[in-house]
Amino acid sequence: MTKILVTGAAGFIGSHTVDLLLAEGHEVTGLDNFRTGREENLAAAFGHPRFKLIRADAAEPGVLAHILAEDKPEAVLHLAALVSVPESIAQPGLNRRLNIEMTGLLAQAAVTAPGVRRLVLASSAAVYGACPDLPLREESAGRPLSPYGAAKLASEHILGRAVLAQPGLSALALRYFNVYGPRQDPRSPYSGVISLFAAALREGRAPAIHGDGGQTRDFIAVADVARANLLALTRPLSGFHVLNVCTGRAVSLQELLAAMGQALGAAVQPARAPARVGDIRHSLGFPGRAESLLGFRAGGDLTSGLARLLRD
């Protein structure tokens, strides 16, 4: 059993990871200020004897240092962040505080805290921007198109420096690709296209495709992401590593809607909308490094994952 702190525990990815960590026998402390997280996401965890929740703002100086000193976790999964690209553009100061400075506070606290041996950062495929070298590999040049992507890249560098400063500390930055699944709020500006399409179908509306629908993405189920988080927190490793969390399979928006129709047993006709300026045409990750270091491989097919989502 490992004692683990999860920041942003009440969020979409955080709550699924908390559930899996508890199911695997670990002791979990969740930290959330409920800026975007939802209490109902932790409904199952609240009744568990190995879970406790701390309601606090991880971006406040001293909060993380105090929790690491008092709670003494062996590993930390850092999911708390500003997760909206549009919000990062509209509020660059908030983006810096919640995505760069907060990671710095965690790294500083972990370097001096007794017992912390592993840090895992939720990074993003947004660090690649419009890099044309597909599939995207961890060594591909980072070309972020948004303050959000740039902040995630800066946060990775912060973790790397922390490991150099404390040889007993190891760290991983997980670059999530297009995550989908239950509990993803379609009202959120961060929400992925799958949750938006699913919400439209539930409400009897035609899902809107911007452009010709030929855009491709690497869609990964949140259950797989939670499993990657579990492995990153517990697999014996030393040093600092950056890993893609992806499937290695590209799916166009047209194919996505066809798969949703197959899951529903009915054809889905989209509404057409103008292409969005600056939209990345193709995004595809290479999953080999995560498989090699963590033994992680995304499981299941997209149609089955969509069927579970649409039934939820």
Catalytic residue ranges? 148
d(CA 224, CA 159): 23
Supply the DSSP symbol for 285: B
d(CA 122, CA 229): 9
d(CA 141, CA 137): 9
In contact, 247 and 218? CB cutoff 8 Å: yes
d(CA 262, CA 310): 11
DSSP-derived secondary structure for 171-214? EEEEEE-EEE-TT--TTSTT--HHHHHHHHHHTTPPPEEETTS-
Q: What are phi and psi of 54, to 5 degrees?
A: -110, 120
